[in-house]
Amino acid sequence: MEEKIRNKFRELFNTTGNVYTSPGRINLIGEHTDYNGGFVFPGAIDKGMIAEIKPNGTGVVRAFSIDLNDYAEFGLREEDAPKASWARYIFGVCREIIKRGGMIQGFDTTFAGDVPLGAGMSSSAALESTYAFALNDLYQLGIDKFELAKIGQATEHNYCGVNCGIMDQFASVFGKAGHLIRLDCRSLEYKYYPFDPEAAGYKLVLLDSVVKHELASSAYNKRRQSCEHVVEAIRCHHPEVEYLRDADMNMLNEVKADVSAEDYMRAEYVIEEIQRVLDVCDALVKGDYETVGEKMYGTHYGMSKLYEVSCEELDYLNDIAKECGVTGSRVMGGGFGGCTINLVKKDLYDAFVKKAFADYTVKFGHEPKLYDVVISDGARRLH
């Protein structure tokens, strides 16, 4: 891929620049915990975006997307926003750097990626982090890594219309090979935990259902409201509770009569999920992958039956994983489609993949997609 990018850059601009990369991410456990003040547990993966960049001494950015075979030119003022949605990511990063006082000028760039689109591995965060890291390096701006992640997040909010949390950009910038990152979504404190399933005899496998049900955004907002209703009820007795992260099952049971059955179920899932993240961290310190897998199944059950954000296809893939003796499996991401993430013993891998493909295709009329992922480093310059 890097060679393809370099060749296109030379062809278009008749020169060479610096090459940068940022990864996509997985989240091992901790779903719908971010807006409840809880913990998430992502890691960067060995699939991402790569870009070649060189300042061109003008006020204009000349950019070419190799994957889309599309070219865009734009200035760096607010009114210069490009029409193409892919170009808005690059433009947004430039604007967010300028808003923070960073002095940048026009540049030439080509880029491509191998993060599968729509599979919940955050190709957009990989793109933002690549350009935020690159421009900071090229123009010697001295922006710290935290701010680079926030620049990516602000790009989504202000230029791409997505009101996302910080996890995706954080994992893309802070990723570290052989480690997952426990991120406290309230304080933004973080800690690395060793995660090397290969060495312990496992593979990390994503099975993509290749479906996306159209419920996602309205359902997401409804669940968020459920969590807020329960916090309001708990605060009547415990004014110190700011998020569900501050509550426990005893507090939830105190208000069971004051909240709807649906709101109760949603809160039960979140309180249990926040604890599962902490349990998985403890298990990894001991190298206990069996417990990690058990907690992943717990998350899937909770997302399917309590939070109700799974779907028939994802539940089916989870059931096949159980039948095949897979150590851990769960829906990854917000739900209603996308992937399951599976922790599979190496000696079960071939049989699991074969059965999943065969049975899923018979039931749903199309194959799932398979991605093997390895936990890798975050944003960096390629030498």
Kindly state whether residues 42 and 62 are assigned to the same domain: yes
Q: Tens of pLDDT along 166-224?
A: 999 999 999 999 999 999 999 999 999 999 999 999 999 999 999 987 665 678 889 99
pTM of the prediction? 0.92
The number of CA neighbours under 13 Å toward the Cβ of 279 is 18
Q: Which of 34, 108, 168, 208 is catalytic?
A: 168
State the residue range of the domain holding 265.
Answer: 202-372
Kindly state whether residues 169 and 29 are assigned to the same domain: yes
CATH number at residue 71: 3.30.230.10
Return the pLDDT at 216.
59
Determine the average pLDDT of the residues in 355-362.
Answer: 98
Kindly state whether residues 103 and 226 are assigned to the same domain: no
Kindly state whether residues 128 and 230 are assigned to the same domain: no
CATH number at residue 241: 3.30.70.890
The pLDDT of residue 351 is above 80: yes
Close Cβ partners of 1 (under 8 Å, ≥ 6 residues apart)? 50, 112, 114
Given CA atoms 273, 375, 24, 345 in this order, what sign does their dihedral have? negative
Kindly state whether residues 18 and 124 are assigned to the same domain: yes
Kindly state whether residues 227 and 162 are assigned to the same domain: no
Determine the average pLDDT of the residues in 123-148.
Answer: 97
Q: Are 19 and 5 in contact (CB under 8 A)?
A: yes
Kindly state whether residues 113 and 233 are assigned to the same domain: no
Kindly state whether residues 136 and 79 are assigned to the same domain: yes
Amino acid of residue 327: T
Q: Tens of pLDDT along 38-80?
A: 999 999 999 999 999 999 999 999 999 999 999 999 999 999 9
CA 92 to centroid of chain Cα atoms: 19
Kindly state whether residues 210 and 359 are assigned to the same domain: yes
Kindly state whether residues 151 and 231 are assigned to the same domain: no
For the chain, how many structural domains are there in total? 2
Kindly state whether residues 191 and 216 are assigned to the same domain: no
Given CA atoms 158, 161, 166, 168 in this order, what sign does their dihedral have? negative
Q: Are 382 and 21 in contact (CB under 8 A)?
A: yes
State how beta strands 202-212 and 337-345 pair. antiparallel
Kindly state whether residues 80 and 64 are assigned to the same domain: yes
Tokens linked to 155: 């790009």
CA distance linking residue 161 with residue 164, whole number of Å: 9
* 137 assigned to active site: no
Torsions phi, psi of 114, nearest 5?
-125, 20
